[in-house]
Structure 1
Amino acid sequence: MTIRGLLPSALIGAVASARSMTPMATIATARLAGRLTPGRLVLLDHPVFKLGALFMGVAELFGDKLKSAPDRTVLLGLVARVASAGIAGAALAPRGRERDGAAIAVAATIPLAYLTLDGRKRAMTRMGQTRSGLIEDALVVAAGALTVALAVRR
């Protein structure tokens, strides 16, 4: 097994750095479409969790545009990113390498949360909170969807 097998886990960790719920929402979408993740994923096989992940993913996209939205690096934000990245990273890792996938996803998420926050703040000064957030949403959701689409199978 090469490191390439764990690349989706690292990429989904990068996605979680910017939007904590997007990894879970993209995997839930794939599971609803009948796709299987390489790693075992018991949690999102339950309908309540699938729908909850989708709801949380959409809610986060709206909530991020609020003036009162906290930075992604506050403790609760980091905890949500770590949890989401870990679960998604494990699901996208090859079977038997779920722990490695979770660790790689989390290792990517934490430092990138600070980098993506810095980038977002710079973009906000140039184009405002809503516009910069919509652009970031489009990039992050596309990256999450592409990562999951390339990693799952029928």
Structure 2
Amino acid sequence: MKTFGLLPSALIGAVASARSMTPMATIAIARLAGRAAPGRLVLLDQPLFEFGALFMGVGELLGDKMKSAPDRTVPLGLLARVMSAGIAGAALAPRGREKAGAAIAVATAVSLAYLTLAGRKRAMARVGQTRSGLIEDALVVAGAAAVVVLSTRRR
């Protein structure tokens, strides 16, 4: 049962594998909507970081469609995934299990980043960069919203 309690952390790590800033942006939106995460929030309990996460999430969704956008597996891309997945994974973990939630989210994000990149490259070859990015955005944002809504409660 304890392992199942960390499932939201693993799932938000999968989100971070494709869009590094979406996990934190989704939790920030949930907080603004009056929802509370089960675990402690690191940084996102500060308004500056909360709004910064929203801004960065939107910026990433827009920037991903640019031809100059780097692969998600470059060192800075992986670092962003580690940070975002760790913060979000801890927030969605049961109280007292934040470190385990962060570790699971980070491991999921980094390992799946290579798989999601391969899938995105195949999709780009078939439908182009912009269309594949928009499809990936829709899937990732919907997944993040579902994970966060199902893992948080009304304050």
Scaled to the shorter chain, the TM-score interval is over 0.9
The alignment partner of 2:67 has SS state of: coil
- Deviations 1:93-132, CA, capped at 9 Å, x for gaps: 0000000000000110111000000000000000000000
Matched residue, 1:73? 73
Distance 2:132 2:67 in 1: 13
Aligned partner of 1:129: which letter?
Q
Provide the TM-score with structure 1 as the length reference.
0.98
Identity %: 79
Unaligned segments of structure 2, at least 5 residues: none
Distance 2:2 2:115 in 1: 27
Distance 1:115 1:11 in 2: 15
Distance 2:42 2:16 in 1: 20
Matched residue, 2:141? 141
Distance 1:146 1:34 in 2: 16
Distance 2:102 2:153 in 1: 19
CA shift, 1:56, in A, is: 0.3
Distance 2:57 2:145 in 1: 12
Provide the TM-score with structure 2 as the length reference.
0.98
CA shift, 1:42, in A, is: 4.0
Confirm or deny that 1:61 pairs with 2:93: no
Note closer, same or farther for the CA distance 1:42–1:75 as it changes in structure 2 (3 Å cut).
closer
Deviating beyond 3 angstroms after TM superposition, the runs of 4 or more aligned structure 1 residues are: none
Unaligned segments of structure 1, at least 5 residues: none
Matched residue, 2:36? 36
Confirm or deny that 1:92 pairs with 2:86: no
Distance 2:113 2:94 in 1: 25
The alignment partner of 2:35 has SS state of: coil
Distance 1:89 1:133 in 2: 24
CA shift, 1:2, in A, is: 2.0
Matched residue, 2:114? 114
Aligned partner of 1:12: which letter?
I
